[in-house]
Amino acid sequence: MLKAKSGVQTGLGERIVLAAQGLGALVVIVLSVLDWTGLLSLPWFDAQAYRIILLAVAVVLLTLFVERLTVLRSIKTDLSLLRNSGHVGARYLTDSDSVLRQLQVLVDSASEKILALGAKSTAIAYLERISRKVTDGDVTYSRLLTGDHITHELHQHLLGLINLAPVNVGWNYSEKYGNLTVSEREVLLAIPTPHPNRFRGLKLVGPEQAGLFSEVFWEAFREGMNLNNPRSLEILCEECGSSTHRGEFELKEMLTKAEDAYRVPG
Ligand SMILES: [Zn+2]
């Protein structure tokens, strides 16, 4: 009856409740042991003992009830602590289809922002969903393109968005930052496999995780170069750009030139 709850800290309130519960139970036991059946023959039984027994039973029942409530409240507090510390809400995604599905879920549920790190997406349905969200004015959208090229799908997707106010596009030659998509409440990490266009993923849910990975995103973004000119996207595109001169130095030079040309006072 007084079994301690493993891993749950017992507070003062809980201890008082447990002690009252124990005491109530003890009274019932003592009364039972003290000639329970013999009590019936005592002259004062009807008036006093009966009331005492009923009271003791009532105390036990009441304290049991309060104790259960206290335990429930304590479990709830622990759960919310766990949720906020990010120990729950992680889901491993075993194949590309689930990753793509979850990317769309992330985009659909975003109501403030979408941060995306990566340049090799060919998932048109996912990219179109982002475009719709941005043009509907629902979210801000920041994308860091990494590596020596971007896919043509991404080129086309960003072409209509790059000049919009809620959109930030950046580029970094280094691909060390991996693939990451973040909203204000979800994080999706794409994990590459040895096979081209096949990947696994990890989804994390919760504002704290989203906040932490937003920091990761902006840290990488600040290391890169801001892009505002549609011509820069063309330079980076694997289909539309030049197939030669893909070194870091050459690309930086071409992109700087394109961006400088774009900064014409208007
Ligand atoms: Zn292209």
pLDDT one digit per residue (tens) for the chain, 266 residues: 344 444 445 567 777 877 777 787 777 777 666 655 566 566 666 656 666 777 778 788 888 888 888 888 888 887 877 766 655 578 999 999 999 999 999 999 999 999 999 998 888 999 999 999 999 999 999 999 999 999 999 999 999 899 899 999 999 999 998 899 999 999 999 998 888 778 899 999 999 999 999 999 999 999 999 999 999 999 999 999 987 778 899 999 999 999 999 875 55
- Report whether 71 contacts 9 (CB < 8 A): no
How far is ligand 1, taken at its centre, from the CA of residue 157, in Å?
10
| Helix, strand, coil percentages in the chain from 3-state DSSP, rounded to 5 | 50, 15, 30
Which residues crowd ion ligand 1, with CB under 5 Å?
Answer: 152, 155, 237, 239-240
68: helix, coil or strand?
helix
pLDDT confidence of residue 38: 63
How far is ligand 1, taken at its centre, from the CA of residue 228, in Å?
16
pLDDT confidence of residue 57: 80
- Report whether 146 contacts 118 (CB < 8 A): yes
- Architecture of domain 90-262 in this structure: 2-Layer Sandwich (3.30)
* Residue 91: strand pairing partners: 203
- Report whether 57 contacts 21 (CB < 8 A): no
CA distance 79 to 87: 10
How far is ligand 1, taken at its centre, from the CA of residue 234, in Å?
6
Name which of 225, 227, 113, 110 is nearest 162 in CA terms. 227
210: helix, coil or strand?
helix
User: Would you tell me how many other CB atoms lie within 10 Å of the CB of residue 253?
Assistant: 12
pLDDT confidence of residue 7: 43
